[in-house]
Amino acid sequence: MNEILTPKEAAELLQLSEYTVKEYARQGKIPARKVGRVWRFSRQALLDWFNPGEDFTPEEWAEIRAGQEEMKRGEVVPWENVRRDV
């Protein structure tokens, strides 16, 4: 049986922020379903979507790893500090 995940669980699985997971879902970038007012994710669909090695170039993987390291060090810019007029 397919495991259904909350946004928090999906974020942990993908090692992304919960905000990013919800935003990707809203934009249709990751497989998700909105049930009423909440997002739900299929664990298997997310793993199939991610499928390492086929969708990302080595350069993109390097950017992903660098971003994960920045998050671990707390170097990610808070959303409130992002310029909206860019």
Q: What is the pLDDT of residues 36-69, one digit of tens each?
A: 999 999 998 998 888 755 566 777 777 777 777 7
The total number of structural domains in the chain stands at 1
pTM above 0.75?
A: no
Q: Where are the beta strands (DSSP E) in the chain?
A: 4-5, 33-35, 38-42
Chain-wide mean pLDDT for the chain? 81
Domain carrying residue 62: 4-74
Q: How far apart are CA 41 and CA 44, in angstroms?
A: 9
CATH number at residue 69: 1.10.10
Note whether residue 39 is domain-resident. Answer: yes
Amino acid at 31: P
List, in order, residues 6 or more apart from 60 with CB less than 8 Å away: none
* Token pair listed for 63: 């950017």
Pair 62, 76: CB distance under 8 Å: no
